[in-house]
Each structure stands twice: as structure tokens, then as C-alpha cells.
Structure 1
Amino acid sequence: MKILVQGLATFAAAMGLAAAANAFEPEATECIAPAAPGGGWDFTCRQVGKTLQDLGLVPGTMQVTNLAGGGGGVAFAEVVNKRNDSNDLIVAASSATSTRLAQGAFPGNTMDQVRWLASVGADYGIIAVAADSPINTLPELMDAIKADPSSVSVAGGSAVGGWDHLKVLIAANAAGVEDVRTVKYVAFDGGGEAVTQLLAGSVQAFTGDASEAKGFVDSGDIKVIAVLAPE
């Protein structure tokens, strides 16, 4: 079974970025991560901030501000409605952001209210369980869901209908789960919070991205049972 769910990390900036690139000199730079610390958007902000600093494109360290809520909607509204003239501000976003905008999930907000600056990388989705879980493969997890959907809760760092939710539903559909609406998905404000609940035993599986899972794999806390990529 091969499933491809590719998340594209991108950056959005307020429409107030009117200065020409070769004339603009940033001052107190900031990146908003629309999720709690430890998630994919938080990782994106910190990595891009470090890269910009290493290249000498920003003075000092870029501040990272976590603004969780609404699957990115709270941060989007904050930038559009309150930070429209902040020339030193960028916001981490992803294909989940553009998808939810297209769905009308952020009332009153549209994609043309921000300036999309750059695509910085592709991040494949993953499904993982706690390191001490008796489940070791994706088929085993899907068999447990088929046998009793109420016994398996899957946590993710995006809202219901977001990409983390869709990842496990696409996998369940491919595995032959008759009604994917029976899959129990629990949304948190970021991948870090979702993994915390996994380690606490509150949920049985985690769905997220490879980047946000890597640190937890390296620490031995979780084991990835599926990478949603061609290989």
C-alpha cells in the first residue's frame, strides 16, 4: 500500500510588505508559528529564522511567537486584521493553510490578504505510536480500528478537516475501513501537544509530519509505523 500525502511548507507575510526587497532593511524580525511549541510550524519558523540569521539577512535572532488556534486561523486573522503594517513579520503556513482557506474555514479571510513569499521544503506525513506500544505496523493499527473504532484514538496537531486528520483518514480508507467517519481523531494546537498526549496514554496513535516527529524518534519516545511517501 502506497499513500502520498505531501505537506509543503510555505511563508505568508502581511500585505504591508510594500518595500522593494533590495531597499528593505529588517529590524526586529518575528515569525509567527500558528501552533503550540514543538509542532511543524514552530519548527519551520525556527529553522528559517536560523537560516536567515546565518546568511546575514536579518539582524540578530528572529523572534518566534506561538499563536495557536483554529488550525492556523487565529494567526492568519491576527496578521490580516492587526499586523497588516508589520514589515518585519512572516508567518509559517502550509498546504493545510491554503486548503482550509479554500474551504472557507477562516471566515472573512482569503488567500489574497497576504503575500506568499516562498516554498521552503516538502514535509511528508507520518503515523506513529508510543515506543512501548504493542502496535508495530500500520496494518496492525488499521486492524485495531476495524475491529473496534472506539478503542483507538489518533491525535494530531491540526483541526478536524485539516491535513493531520486527512492523513489518517486516507490511510484508513486505503486499508479498507468501511466508514472512515468512525475513526476517532483528537485535534490539538500543535504536534508537540499531540505527542504529549500519546506519551501520557490518552491516545493510541499520532498523525503529523516527519519534521516534527524526528526529535521524538531520536529521543526514543515514539516509533513511526508509516511515512506517507512514495518510498
Structure 2
Amino acid sequence: MQKSFNIKGRLVNCEIKRSRRRTVALYVHPDKSVEIRMPLLFSVDEIEPFLIKHSRWLFNRLDLPEKKPIEPKKFVSGELHYFLGKQYPIEIVASDKNSVVFDNEKIVIRHRVTKTPSRQVHLSESLSSSKSKSVSSSDLLDRWYLEQAKRVFQEISIPLIEQMKKYNVAPKSFAIKKMKTRWGSCSSKGNINLNLHLIKLPEQCIKEVILHELCHLVYFNHSKEFYALMTAEMPDWKVWKKELKFL
């Protein structure tokens, strides 16, 4: 159901949906459309007072500038990609095997080439318009990122795990995954997941995320005690947490 409300002199159009939820939920979608989900017995007459009560939050969301869409990477030579907080150009070259090499100045993505009976060299699909099954530059770079993440995350986590032993806690496992909305997570069983994209950030940012998840082994919440523990173990953690927003 669509309905408009005059909230402090501003007309707000809302999509109203009923559900079995117990509380009223207010959403502002990326296209600035407003949605209200309310309990089955909640009266429509109660929506306007609810919106007035939350008008500051609502207007802040509606007035946020729209995010510019991020252009997808093209994976062409010279394009910049992040690694440990710095940008490096990639260079795509032909080789006898698929591999990625980092020389502290650039990231070289090597693609295996094949030869036809006429001895002409043909590059794989990612370097030409051929439709043959091959590994893309994106896949090769992700594999390399994963290799680096395993090494770097371990180097950073080992001293942190040792540091947290005084609280009689230790993670059950570590896993590296691609995650869209979180840098890391910790389950109630002590399984910690880390976002693969962390390898693109400075090492101190990675340290902040790993410590954050380790602190959840002590406090499985975001209470004052949790943040006090973060500060005790990494006094400048807030500085590096801000850096996480750049990606």
C-alpha cells in the first residue's frame, strides 16, 4: 500500500507492508524510496507519529548524496590495483604458464599462451577475444591475493593470538572469504572469517579487524567493555578503523 505523509512540512511517500514482525521497521532504499514494515495489528494512523519521532534519521537518509556507481575494473595494463594500502599498476603479459609476480613496483599477471599448428601464438581468452576456456586476469589476481592474504593474515594474527591468551581465549579456526558487507566475523563457536579484500588495506587495518574479531571471543557483543578491551590491546584502533571505509 502506498501512502503519503506530511512530516514537518515535507511530503514523504511510503510503501507500507504488513508482516508478522513485532515492531515497526523503517527503510530508506538507495533510490530514496521509503518503506515501512509493521505488525499486522499496527494501525496506519500510528505511522505519522512514528515518522515524526524518527524524522531526523529519516531526513538524514533521504538527503544523503547518491553514491556514484563504482566502475568495474577492466584488467588492462596500467590499471591501478590496491595491495597492502598502496596502489600498483598491473601489467598483463604472455608467458608459458599462468602466474602473478609482484616486484614492489607493479603486479605482473602472466597468461599462458598456446600455439596453433601454424605456429602462430594465441593468447588466452582474457588477453584476446577467443572464447576458449581460460583463466581470466581477475581470477589470477584473486588467486594471488588469496596466497598473500594467507601469508600476511597469519603473520599478523599469530602475535595477536598470543597477546589474547591472557584472557584464556583462542580462535577455533580462521577462514578467508569474499564478503560484501563485513570485513570480518566471529561465530559463537570461535570460528573467525576474514574478508579477502583486507589484503588491499594497510597492515594496521588488517590488525584492527583481526583484533576486533579476537576480542569477540571475550565479549560476544559491542558493549562498552568490548571497546575498552579493544583500546587496551590496540590504543590507536579507531584511527585504523576509519581507514576501512575507503574501499
- Scaled to the shorter chain, the TM-score interval is under 0.3
TM-score if structure 2 supplies the norm length? 0.22
Q: Which structure is higher in RCO with an 8 Å CA cutoff and minimum separation 6?
A: 1
TM-score if structure 1 supplies the norm length? 0.23
Q: Which of structures 1 and 2 has the bigger CA Rg?
A: 2
